[in-house]
Amino acid sequence: MSILRRDALRLGGAMALAGAIPGAARAQALPDKPIRLIVPNAAGGVADLTARTVGAALSERIKQPVVIENRPGAGGIVAGQTLLTAPADGATLMVATNAHAISKSLFRNLPFDPLKDFAPVGLMGTFAIAILVAPGSPIRTAQDLIAALKRDPQNTNLGTISVGSTQNLAAELFKTTAGVDATTVPFSGTPQLLTSLLRNDVTAAFEIVAPLMGQLKDGSLRAIAVTSSARAANLPDVPTLQEAGLAGFDVTSWNAVVAPARTPAPVIERLNRELNAALADPAVRSKLLEAGVEAKGDSPAQLGQLLSSEAEKWRAVIERAGIEKQ
């Protein structure tokens, strides 16, 4: 056989193999049916809006429907159980939030292990928690708040939503870091919390910024600090607690995607690749920012590290605060 003919045959075989492998990988990577994306919160919230925005972009990329399924209740347990019993084929995914990492230390009888029973796919975005005061409050900065809490602990306090929420635990971490012994007052929901804040029943409140941008813009509420390590994109003039002198303070709310454990690695890799590509789309980034979410992608390994570090951080906060398991 001539050298030219032999090389041509080798090249033809290599090209045929190269053409066959991607098709096989595609067939293996995603099942040919709609993708369910379970949201552990009710429709209309930040997690739901993030899931719908990213899900629509993901659907366009993979040429398959992405169906949003809201399963609120029991701090994410209802959604988690739904994912736990789903086939590990990539056709059922779930939005994981801070509550996913917190649940390991918050619940006494959790029916799953949030770190072992679910496979990280990728981060979708982060959003700020702010310390809020009433518009007429004399407190202008985080330093003012710390001074007031130390000066008059009997007549000052901090308001949050339910015990064990990210906002509630952020307030507990704030007290520990700032060295104040203030009372934390939990409320059943944001409306009740804000009503008490505006009536001056609570001195300051820790709450997610995204749903409150209208009130912050019209002056009905005032943000004195954000809890993240960097300033929030939608509140660029509001300093961080680190800037206020609380070194290392970093509490950021986030939304991510997880799959059932034992989902094949090629499926996870394909979903992560398409997810990151969707998050890089300027239109998606802009729409998320309108909802108060900063689009941020990562790798499955990085999300796994985030879940582990968050679970450990909140375990320590829950234990220090003496919060009883539910």
In this prediction, residue 7 carries a pLDDT of 46
Nearest to 322 by CA among 187, 205, 169, 202: 169
Q: How far is CA 154 from the centre of its chain?
A: 34
In this prediction, residue 108 carries a pLDDT of 85
Answer yes or no: same fold for 31-127+253-321 and 129-226. yes
In this prediction, residue 11 carries a pLDDT of 42
In this prediction, residue 169 carries a pLDDT of 96
In this prediction, residue 299 carries a pLDDT of 97
Helix (H, G, I), strand (E, B) or coil at 85: coil
- Burial (0-12, 13-18, 19+ Cβ within 10 Å), 135: exposed
Nearest to 295 by CA among 283, 306, 279: 279
Residue 182 DSSP one-character state: P
Residues of the chain with pLDDT under 50: 1-28
Report the C-alpha gap between 118 and 84 in whole angstroms.
8
Count of other CB atoms within 10 angstroms of residue 106 = 22
> Domain 129-226: which topology?
D-Maltodextrin-Binding Protein; domain 2 (3.40.190)
The ranges assigned to domains in the chain are 31-127+253-321, 129-226
118-127 and 253-260 strand pairing:
antiparallel
> Domain 31-127+253-321: which topology?
D-Maltodextrin-Binding Protein; domain 2 (3.40.190)
How many helices (H) and strands (E) the chain has is answered by 11, 11
Nearest 10 degrees: Cα torsion 190, 239, 216, 234 = -100
pTM: 0.86
Bridge partner list, 218:
none
Report the C-alpha gap between 291 and 128 in whole angstroms.
11
- Burial (0-12, 13-18, 19+ Cβ within 10 Å), 152: exposed
Residue 184 DSSP one-character state: E
